[in-house]
Amino acid sequence: MDSASLVLENIVKVFGPRGQVRAVDNLNLKIEPGEFVTLLGPSGCGKTTTLRLIAGFEFPTSGRIRLDGNPVEGLPPNKRPMAMVFQSYALFPHMTVYGNVAYGLEVRKLPKREIGKRVEKVMELMDLSGMEDRKPHQLSGGQQQRVALARALVMEPRVLLFDEPLSNLDAKLREQMRLEIRGLQQRLGITTVYVTHDQAEAMSLSDRIAVMNEGRLEQIGSPTEIYRRPATSFVADFIGRANFIKSRVLETGGGGATYQLFDGRITLPDSPSNLEPNSEAVLVIRPEAVRLNTQGSGFAGKVEQGVYLGATMEYEIEVQGQRVSAVVYDPQEEDVFPTGSTVYLEFPAGSFHVLPAKGGADR
């Protein structure tokens, strides 16, 4: 399929008679042809409104939306070369699978032969061959999802839009459909914008993730960048779990800095350049990076809670007045520490990410 670039320039969308609800706040986003970008964030962050602005179901209060350089923000949905897959699938219950998939082409009054060819091709692509005469209620949730996707793809869109399409599926089927959607998108090379509040979904599907909060773009980057180098505490806390250890800058120089770590110190070569000596900072480290032992190596802590989950053992540990989460994978009996016991924590220097205290420890 012929993919397109998509650019959002200074997009603002306000609702209410006096514009008191700012759903999207000066959003800038550039999506390359064939790229899979996920809009991720909590409910009410503006991600679905942004998707509806791209699709043409809403119009921006200000700003431009460009498709291959051409402005489209004033065009209705049927004039944009895009297709959306909805959360509810939005299948017509009285129509057959064939009728649902062909519907958009029939509205465009394409010749019957052309419609037949395109429907047959996309049915085969979505592994729906032989189901043409079934009604939606005769299909499983995964099959209904495939029909909704086939109905979008048959229009041969240049941009494919998804609005939380997997939220109605059970966990196992959701994982399967993630793989199918990503594999299909890579085979077709179609520009894709996907909305979800599920971080695992975003991480497994995306070339890049755009994390949104209160209508604003907090950070955009690859799944690795977002997870390993969060730009703000909101991103660090929303993507996975994170420890925010209060600290202070002791020394700077040589492209790195030395920080207070509880009653000790740690030198990190990759540090923000704008931190000054004696300024406050926050050391961010993921629970799975924390190492636990009982041999006295590291910082002493008291186990406040331990949860055994089979594949993992999750701990909450008090260390010098701060709480630290730690995760042990494939725990053996010797990895199970009772509540109230003393353990020692080690922190690999390469696992830290530094944030300024302002906006860093704002949980």
Q: Which of 203-207, 288-292, 348-352 is predicted least confidently?
A: 348-352
Q: Is the pLDDT of residue 206 over 80?
A: yes
42-88 tens-digit pLDDT = 999 999 999 999 999 999 999 999 999 999 999 999 899 999 998 87
Q: Which pLDDT belongs to residue 198?
A: 92
C-alpha distances out from residue 70 to 65, 75, 289, Å: 8, 11, 46
> Is 363 a residue whose pLDDT tops 80?
no
| Domains in the chain with CATH codes | 6-236 (3.40.50.300), 242-288+347-363 (2.40.50.100), 291-345 (2.40.50.140)
Give residues with Cβ within 8 angstroms of 155, minimum separation 6. 83, 104, 105
Q: How far is CA 170 from CA 112, 140, 141, 183, 347, in A?
A: 37, 11, 9, 20, 37
pLDDT value for 358: 66
- Write the CB contacts of 56 (distance below 8 Å, at least 6 apart in sequence): 72, 75, 76, 77, 79, 80, 82
Q: What's the pLDDT score for residue 254?
A: 73
Q: Would you state the pLDDT for residue 56?
A: 95
Q: How confident is the model at residue 39 (pLDDT cuts 50, 70, 90)?
A: very high
Average pLDDT over residues 265-292: 89
**What pLDDT was estimated at residue 360?**
43
pLDDT tens for 221-248 read: 999 999 999 999 999 999 989 999 999 9
What is the rounded distance in angstroms from the CA atom of residue 257 to the CA atom of residue 202?
33
User: What average pLDDT does this structure show over 175-179?
Assistant: 88
Q: Does residue 162 carry a pLDDT above 80?
A: yes
Report, as an integer, the average pLDDT of 319-324.
96
Neighbours of 29 (CB within 10 A): 20
Which of the two residues, 285 and 363, has the higher pLDDT score?
285
Q: Is the pLDDT of residue 263 over 50?
A: yes
Selection from 213, 242, 224 nearest residue 361 by Cα: 242
CA distance from start to end of the chain: 45
The pTM of the whole model exceeds 0.85: yes
Confidence of residue 1 (pLDDT cuts 50, 70, 90): low
pLDDT of residue 45: 94
Question: Is it the case that residue 183 has pLDDT exceeding 80?
Answer: yes
CB 212 within 8 A of CB 47: yes
**DSSP for 95-120, written as a single string:** S-HHHHHHHHHHHTT--HHHHHHHHH
Of the two residues 289 and 271, the one the predictor is more confident about is: 289
Question: How far apart (Å, rounded) are the C-alpha atoms in residues 205 and 219?
Answer: 17
The alpha carbon dihedral of 178, 97, 94, 193 has a sign of positive
**Range 145-171 average pLDDT:** 89
